Chains A and B, each alone.
Chain A
Amino acid sequence: MTFESGAAGPGVPGPCRLLVVEDSATLAEALLFAFGFEPGIEPVGVAPSIARALELVEVEQPDVVLMDVRLPDGSGVEAAARIVALRPGTPVVIMTAHADHLLALEAARAGAAGFLLKDVRIAKMVSGVRRAAAGAVAVDPAVLASVLVQAAADGPGAAAPGAGGADLPPAEQAVVALLAAGLDLAAVAARLGLDDGDVAGLVASARDRLGARSNLEAVVRAAATGLLAPTGP
């Protein structure tokens, strides 16, 4: 669903409706200030807590949720799981002050779509949101590499006990490998010479087979079952 919303890609109409979940009013205001200059991104609200975020997800149906990792009523990672359960397909991007690949892996396993550092230039934060809206894995390449290595080392049972090594048809496997290489859905379609709709269908099917709630989680699960190795970037 959200992947076809095409909120971000150049030439694709429709603004990306962004929900910011951040308890520091100062940071939230600064984010709104910065995102206010960005064409194609329309902040639809700020939630200072998980409870408020869940309400706003239902009411506003945002295209992307940008969420602090630490909130007064719980962890942003757990909140990501609740948001994708409430409204499947919503990309939730976690913001944190620390480049911690174990936390990033935890976020991926909770169904988050991305993991961004607060220290980066705001342009990176903006591009992370755009990438998440465009179906890409919104994680810094270096952090993603560590995350995938860790996921492969942990194996398939680490995230969901009893999860088997799901197998993917070659086309789906190719799509997941390109997502792992950092491509967004439009770029995957261009690379494989497919329609955007075909790619969306392949991604949805791969996510189903892998039991993943986000493209990031799909990539991590594929890495855990050894599916990325032969076709990796």
Chain B
Amino acid sequence: MSRPGDRTTVEALAAELERMAKSLVEAREHERQALGGLLHDTTLQGLIAAMWQVDALNERAGGSPELEALRASLETLVDQTRAVTRDLRPPALHETGLGAAVDELAQRGEGDPPLRVEVDDRLGGARFAPAIEMLAYRAIQASLRNAREHGGTTARIVLSQDGSRLSATVTDDGAGADLGLADLDDTIRLAKGRFSSSRAGDGGTVVSVELPAG
């Protein structure tokens, strides 16, 4: 017989909360993938189609500066939409694992000028629960976006496992630590993880995520 306040009840509730946090992460990820797919199949295709139509008209017109300008705007929109699509639908984490997915993220070189990202992957191919890998990936992705938005030029990602904890640290030379990641922060906490961001000694930002490896 357990009453509220009993040790066993509290433990059961905590376990239930953790389970729900993980299923929330998975549901949210599922939604993002669906949204990314929709964006790719409708908006992106439509923009490319419009670009081709402008091309055809432009050639027919023998090259018009107005149509060239319109083409350039569409090209920018195509690039931006493609970037959003890629953010929403990262390479399948469940296939490649965290290390490989983070590597791919680092090598995209997004940003203008591109952010140079170095990855120190000490996981040795270790795998974790899907929700844990997704949370770590999203936190790293958000950190890199933050670095780009705050004028960062380089970032360094360290992935490691310390016993039962998976740890990811992103250090950049950007000027902002305001990640606006309140919901990610909450979810990480619910999953029995820890999330922190602070200014680095030399003025950059350090984001650190710790998650249960089990």
Contacts and interface: CB of A to CB of B under 8 A. Distances in A.
Interface of A: 24, 26-27, 29-31, 33-34, 36-37, 97, 118-119, 121-123, 125
Contacts of A27: 45, 48-49, 52
A193 B11 CA distance: 86
A122 B49 contact: no
B50 to A, nearest CB: 7
Interface string B151-175: 0000000000000000000000000
B85 to A, nearest CB: 10
B70 interface: no
Chain B at the A interface: SS class: helix
5 contacts: A27-B52, A31-B52, A34-B56, A37-B56, A121-B55
Given A37-B60, A119-B78, A26 B49 contact: yes
Interface residues of B, number: 16
Contacts of A37: 56, 59-60
Chain A at the B interface: SS class: helix
Given A33-B53, A37-B56, A37-B59, 6 more contacts: A27-B48, A30-B53, A37-B60, A118-B48, A122-B55, A123-B59
A26 B56 contact: no
A29 B59 CA distance: 18
A116 B52 CA distance: 14
The 7 closest A-B pairs by CB, nearest first: A30-B49, A122-B55, A34-B56, A24-B45, A30-B52, A26-B49, A122-B52
Given A24-B45, A119-B78, A122-B55, A30 B60 contact: no
